[in-house]
């Protein structure tokens, strides 16, 4: 049985408009799936629907089974036990994803305390270990989110997601808000951590090059519909859908631009 | 942590009035309703600030007035804060129809002038210290509730709430860990400002005779009684006026200081 099994998932707004229409995909244990599409294509909503955390007024239909629990239509209280343990999320904008009034160490301690039942000294040690794992200095623990850089904040967010020891890590455009050099560092870090823990990864991005670098399979979303899916290789070399072709072509063009400038 | 000088000045001013109120409990130069001092005695000698037109010692009456001002100020903030924060939290978390209902009630309550509300309360009960606290607190609660509701809505829309929920944090825990700490600083500043407004409101109510009835020496009443003789004996009007300003300015400065202390993003930039 796969870790995440999404079948015919549809997300509707209160006025009946469909923002995601009949999307299906599966992620097995240790799998890496990329969800790609332009902004507004329903990538993030799909991720939120999988966690049972759609914004107020939106409803999910169809089925999303996460680690054996049906998320669509489930009672909220029941999902508290599934969230974090089965899957954790890293969001796009790390500044707003961290509580501005809480020191980084305290925020990081929260999931550690809850999921690993640590207290006092061991908890403190676990916070330090979690920071070291994402290559952050111990001093960061005493800082507030606004006092550290964007890259550091995203590392903290990753550490918080990993602290839950999830089987599936959902990364929702985790590097989009970062500088290009920092982006590469964070991607390498994420890649290494997912590999070393044997986690499954659902990577959401609009950037084909980034997705191709960290995942094995890709689902292409356009206006809430999955227009194409397949292995990274197939998508990049033999795109079938017109939209996918345009995605691939523009990625190649960027690449070609750089090649031409090379000495 | 560096404190701003305005915060310290505010603390000193408020502490001054508090000290006067505490001393008034233990010692007064004269009984505030003792009329043996002679009418409109000018400041100096036996009566440091002189006497009023009935021969009562002004300093003693001012000291008792400080007690009343503080009681009404803190009392109405307590009433308005408890009612307002509760209603605001309820509306902030509520589903659509309950939110709409509470908001409609708040809008009506806010549209109601405080004075009219006070007259209603006084009509139902009697003019007393308790009525003044109740009326001012009630008017305040609507403003506090609306602020609380907006703050809760704003925090709930933040990514870190969703982020916390994705890691499996239960609702009650999200409220105590993230929502309350994030609305508390703004709320505290607002309550402090409301305290200053409440003191002023009590003075106006007393001035109009809707506050604690005589011989209660509220500052508003002192001002009203000194009105007729303001040209011949100005101390009677100036002294309570100055104290009123000292307390309200002090409270406002403290409120400003709270804002700087409570918000870590402001603390550094100072």
Per-residue pLDDT of chain B (270 residues; tens, 9 = 90+): 456 788 899 999 999 999 999 998 988 888 887 777 777 777 777 777 878 877 788 888 999 999 999 999 999 999 999 999 999 998 988 878 888 898 899 998 888 888 888 888 888 888 888 899 999 999 999 999 999 999 999 998 888 998 898 888 888 889 888 999 999 889 999 999 999 999 999 998 888 888 887 777 889 888 888 888 888 888 888 999 999 999 999 999 999 888 777 777 766 543
Above 90 in pLDDT, residue A60? yes
The answer to whether residues A41 and A223 touch, using CB atoms and an 8 Å cutoff, is yes
Assigned domain for A227 exists: yes
Assigned domain for A123 exists: no
Per-residue model confidence (pLDDT) at position B2: 56
The answer to whether residues A180 and A254 touch, using CB atoms and an 8 Å cutoff, is no
Assigned domain for A191 exists: yes
Which residues on A lie below 8 Å from B180 (Cβ)?
Answer: none
Assigned domain for A25 exists: yes
Distance in Å, alpha carbon of A47 to nearest chain B alpha carbon: 10
Assigned domain for A196 exists: yes
Please state at what angle helix A150-163 crosses helix A104-116, rounded to 10 degrees: 10
**Numbered residues of chain B with Cβ closer than 8 Å to any chain A Cβ:** 158-160, 162-171, 177-178, 181-182, 185, 263-265, 268
Mean pLDDT of A244-255: 84
Per-residue model confidence (pLDDT) at position B267: 60
Question: Cα(B111)–Cα(A182) distance, rounded to whole angstroms?
Answer: 53
Domain residues for the domain of A201 are 4-95+170-261
Assigned domain for A202 exists: yes
Q: What domains does chain B contain, in order, with CATH numbers?
A: 56-269 (1.10.3720.10)
- When divided into structural domains, chain A yields a total of 1
pLDDT in tens, A69-86: 999 988 888 888 889 889
Per-residue model confidence (pLDDT) at position B1: 46
pLDDT in tens, A97-129: 999 989 999 999 998 988 888 888 899 999 999
Which residues on B lie below 8 Å from A91 (Cβ)?
Answer: 159, 162-163
Output the domain CATH number for residue A74: 3.40.50.300
Question: Cα(A64)–Cα(A81) distance, rounded to whole angstroms?
Answer: 16
Per-residue model confidence (pLDDT) at position B118: 82
Per-residue model confidence (pLDDT) at position B87: 92
Which residues on A lie below 8 Å from B171 (Cβ)?
Answer: 76-77
Question: Could you report the predicted ipTM of this complex, rounded to two decimals?
Answer: 0.82
Beta bridge partners of A203: A34, A171
Chain A residue at shortest CA distance from B263: A101
pLDDT in tens, A142-175: 999 999 998 899 999 999 999 988 999 999 998 8
Q: Which of B168, B180, B188 to mutate to test the interface with A (most CBs of A within 10 A)?
A: B168
Tell which residue, A167, A133, A163, A137, has the closest CA to residue A149: A137
Assigned domain for A61 exists: yes
Q: Higher model confidence: residue A217 or residue A80? A: A217
Assigned domain for A226 exists: yes
Distance in Å, alpha carbon of B253 to nearest chain A alpha carbon: 23
């Amino acid at each position: 049985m796969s870790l995440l099994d999404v079948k015919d998932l549809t997300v509707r707004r209160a006025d009946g408009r469909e923002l995601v229409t009949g999307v299906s995909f599966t992620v097995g244990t240790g799998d890496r799936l990329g969800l790609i599409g332009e902004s507004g294509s329903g990538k993030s909503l799909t991720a939120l629907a999988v966690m049972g955390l759609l914004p107020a007024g939106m409803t999910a239909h169809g089925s999303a089974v996460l680690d054996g629990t049906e998320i669509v239509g489930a009672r909220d209280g029941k999902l508290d036990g599934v969230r974090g343990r089965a899957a954790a999320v890293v969001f796009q904008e790390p500044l707003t994803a961290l509580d501005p009034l809480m020191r980084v160490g305290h925020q990081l301690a929260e999931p550690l305390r809850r999921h690993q039942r640590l207290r006092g000294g061991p908890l403190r040690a676990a916070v330090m270990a979690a920071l070291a794992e994402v290559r952050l200095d111990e001093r960061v623990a005493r800082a507030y989110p606004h006092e550290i850089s964007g890259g550091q904040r995203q590392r903290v967010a990753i550490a918080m997601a990993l602290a839950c020891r999830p089987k599936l890590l959902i990364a929702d455009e985790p590097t989009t808000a970062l500088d290009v050099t920092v982006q590469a560092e964070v991607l390498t870090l994420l890649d290494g951590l997912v590999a070393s823990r044997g986690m499954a990864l659902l990577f959401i991005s609009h950037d084909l090059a980034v997705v191709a670098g960290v995942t094995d399979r890709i689902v292409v979303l356009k206006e809430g519909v999955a227009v194409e899916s397949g292995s990274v290789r197939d998508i990049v070399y033999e795109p079938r859908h017109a939209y996918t072709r345009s995605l691939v072509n523009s990625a190649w063009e960027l690449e070609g631009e750089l090649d031409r400038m090379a000495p | 942590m560096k404190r701003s000088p305005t915060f310290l000045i505010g603390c000193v001013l408020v502490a001054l009035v508090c000290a006067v109120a505490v001393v008034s409990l233990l010692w007064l130069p004269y009984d505030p309703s003792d009329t043996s001092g002679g009418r409109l005695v000018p400041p100096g000698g036996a009566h440091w600030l002189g006497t009023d037109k009935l021969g009562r010692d002004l300093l003693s009456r001012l000291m008792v007035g400080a007690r009343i001002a503080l009681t009404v100020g803190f009392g109405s903030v307590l009433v308005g804060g408890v009612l307002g924060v509760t209603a605001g939290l309820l509306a902030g978390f509520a589903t659509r129809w309950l939110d709409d209902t509470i908001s409609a009630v708040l809008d009506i309550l806010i549209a109601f002038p405080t004075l009219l509300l006070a007259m209603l309360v006084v009509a139902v009960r009697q003019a007393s210290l308790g009525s003044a606290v109740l009326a001012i607190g009630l008017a305040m609660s609507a403003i506090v509730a609306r602020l609380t509701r907006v703050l809760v809505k704003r925090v709930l829309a933040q990514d870190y709430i969703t982020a916390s929920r994705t890691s499996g944090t239960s609702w009650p825990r999200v409220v105590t860990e993230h929502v309350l700490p994030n609305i508390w600083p703004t709320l505290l500043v607002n309550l402090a400002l409301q305290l200053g407004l409440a003191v002023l409101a009590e003075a106006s109510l007393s001035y109009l005779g809707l506050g604690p009835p005589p011989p209660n020496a509220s500052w508003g009443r002192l001002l009203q009684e000194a009105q007729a003789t303001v040209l011949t004996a100005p101390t009677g009007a100036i002294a309570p006026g100055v104290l009123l300003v000292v307390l309200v300015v002090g409270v406002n400065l403290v409120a400003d200081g709270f804002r700087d202390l409570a918000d870590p993003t402001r603390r550094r930039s100072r």
